Chains A and B, each alone.
Chain A
Amino acid sequence: MSAATEAPRAVRLRPFTMLLAVPIVGLALVPTTLDSYQTLLIAYGLIYGIAALGFNLLLGYTGLLSFGHSAFFAVGAYSVGFMVRYLGIQSMELYILVGIVLSGMVSALFGYICVRHTRIFFGILTLALSQVLYSLALSLFWITGGTDGLRVPRPNLLGGLLNFTSGGFPRFVSYYYYYVLVLFLACAVIMWVIAHSPFGKALQAIRDNETRAAFLGLRVRRFRWAAFFISGTFTGLAGTLWVPLNGLTTPDVAYWPFSGEIVFMTLLGGFRSFAGPIVGGMVYTYLKAYAVAVTDYWQLLLGAVLVVLVLVLPTGIVGAAARLFPRLTSPGRRD
């Protein structure tokens, strides 16, 4: 092989990568520079970012649009509710462990059923299965609390090193924010590696051309199932992290409009880029919080945003920014 054709150095620190340090430092300073309400909103944004990151492994990288990710979020949230109500557990680490296992199991089961189909049939199957869980959350009220849901008090963090039986909500929010931030960064790194691994490239290949992927020897359905499993588990973890902040889980998080919200945040940020869902989760949190405060017709407002988004910014906020600042991304390549 000639010098000209030597394997190019793959991983380079590009301006975009170096710019990552800015938001990370900014996020680390949030509890010390902003008030509790803003800290709470950003914590919600980070949690939704995890959910949307997971969702986008299916939509952006595998080409499968799920309308049922509320199910996994709900499994993560309800697993905490059950542990509090029936086992009296208050450890956040145990919540996370059990939440991941249970949402992983439900994702594996739903995925096994859904990935036999693609396109609209896949979407309808995910929607239908999530609504089965919603119905169960409503109808098994003696277990799930029905429409009242399950209350979740502030948990202990770090194996009991931090507990919040005394002290106000702001103290809990500050500490819990850092807890969420660390897990968010871990999730982002893990998802980055997955998306840029040979497995992630295979998912993108399947998205682009299923037939050719099969003729590279890829077992397409197995790859889709694995993507579904990872995607649902990430979203389940987001549900587990969300419920102590919210203090309550109700069937609403299993209902299909919440799946729509996850789709919305991903589209808002841009499903064609890695960072899009994270940005979408954060912006959506703020949009919703302030829209609810401004008008009773906040859903109308968000609907209008969605229409504008699809018509004017089909690549989302990050896609539009990449077009405005092309130097942040390499020519012809996608992050």
Chain B
Amino acid sequence: MALLQTIALTKRFGDLVAVNNVNFTVHKGEFLSLVGSNGAGKTTLVNLISGQVKADTGQILFADSDITTSRVSERIKLGIARSFQLVNLFDGLSVLDNVALAVFSREGKVRNLAVLADADRAVRAEAMGVLDLFGIEAQWSLLAGGLSQGERKLLDVAVAYALKPTLLFLDEPTSGVGTRDKAQIMDTVSAVVRAGTVTAVVIEHDMDIVFKYSDRVVVMHEGSMLADGRPAEIRANKEVATVLLGAPVPT
């Protein structure tokens, strides 16, 4: 069952066609990886779906609703959340406040200016629970700006996860961290996402991670869809290997 569908989605930046007539489908409950070389259009596609940039032409359908022209806030209410390639946190707030703010927003309490945020024990307990899931609960009182890069990556995902999305986009959740930390981050993220029955789309360059964690892999190249299949099918696809590695993988 398709949770998300883009129909002939196109985005141009001047003469550059960043996303070209893309028909992209995400099924409910899957862990999908979106791969491609730099400039393939992966992040632009996610930006279009999440509402950060507007599409030139085409349509975006989410849970049977046309969200092509919807505001970011409306898309979030419908259940689309995302993390960012470059970690986007509120560095002047505590780790707990970063997550609590997402909970306040989701519950429609964020406009409340007559009570102390810290006094809402239910929200704080939920935020602590999310931090616990991601293994960073011990750092709850630190400023987010004081975390290590790996912890920041996890917090970035945790903030998006706290919105309780139906569809979660993770833009390179392991970029900028060491090889050892990558596996730890992906183990944590995939366990949380699968346990929470969230549909996840991960943009990732590390093909070992892609093949290990994904149910399905979509390959983009120069703004268009190049391939779509199970990890084993993508691994065996010579055209994909040529595009991603410059030469087919020797068998």
Contacts and interface: CB of A to CB of B under 8 A. Distances in A.
B109 interface: yes
Interface of B: 50, 52, 72-73, 76-77, 81-82, 84, 88-94, 96-98, 100-102, 104-106, 109-121, 124-125, 127-129, 131-132, 137, 140-143, 146, 159-160, 163
B146 A332 contact: yes
A217 B106 contact: yes
B82 A215 contact: yes
B129 A1 contact: yes
Nearest to B104: A198
A2 interface: yes
A214 B116 contact: no
Contacts of B111: 198-199, 202, 226
Ranked nearest first, the 4 interchain pairs of A and B with the lowest CB-CB distance are: A10-B118, A199-B113, A212-B88, A7-B125
Contacts of A213: 90
A123 to B, nearest CB: 21
B117 A196 contact: yes
Contact of B131 (A5, A211, A212): A5
Residue among A1, A207, A215, A334 with max Cβ neighbours from chain B (10 Å): A215
B77 to A, nearest CB: 7
B109 A198 contact: yes
B89 A212 contact: yes
Contacts of A200: 113, 117
A227 to B, nearest CB: 10
21 contacts: A11-B119, A196-B118, A197-B115, A197-B117, A198-B110, A199-B111, A202-B111, A204-B93, A205-B101, A207-B92, A209-B90, A211-B52, A212-B84, A212-B90, A215-B50, A216-B159, A216-B163, A217-B77, A217-B106, A217-B110, A218-B73
B106 to A, nearest CB: 7
A57 B140 CA distance: 25
Nearest to B77: A217
Given A8-B141, A204-B92, A212-B88, A218 B110 contact: yes
B129 A202 contact: no
A5 B88 CA distance: 25
Interface residues of A, number: 38
A85 interface: no
Residue among B97, B101, B140 with max Cβ neighbours from chain A (10 Å): B101
Contacts of B52: 211, 215
Given A201-B100, A216-B159, A217-B163, A332 B143 contact: yes
A219 B73 CA distance: 7
Residue among B73, B129, B146 with max Cβ neighbours from chain A (10 Å): B73
A219 B71 CA distance: 10
Nearest to A210: B88
Contacts of A197: 112-117
A44 to B, nearest CB: 28
Contacts of A216: 76, 101-102, 105, 110, 159, 163
Contact of A5 (B84, B100, B114, B129): B129
B117 A7 contact: no
Contacts of B160: 215
Given A215-B160, A333-B94, 12 more contacts: A11-B116, A197-B113, A202-B101, A208-B91, A211-B88, A215-B76, A216-B163, A217-B72, A217-B76, A332-B146, A333-B143, A334-B92
Contacts of A209: 88-91
Residue among A193, A217, A331, A333 with max Cβ neighbours from chain B (10 Å): A217
Given A1-B128, A7-B125, A201 B101 contact: yes
B51 to A, nearest CB: 9
Contacts of A139: none
A204 B100 CA distance: 13
B17 to A, nearest CB: 24
A2 B77 CA distance: 30
Nearest to A272: B92
Nearest to A194: B113
A209 B52 CA distance: 14
A135 interface: no
Contacts of A332: 94, 141-143, 146
A119 B77 CA distance: 29
A146 B112 CA distance: 42
A334 B101 CA distance: 17
A215 B76 CA distance: 7
Contacts of A2: 132
A194 to B, nearest CB: 5
Contacts of B141: 8, 330-333
Contacts of A208: 89-93
Contacts of A334: 92, 143
A208 B92 CA distance: 7
Contacts of A4: 137
A296 interface: no
B147 to A, nearest CB: 10
Contact of B90 (A204, A226, A333): A204
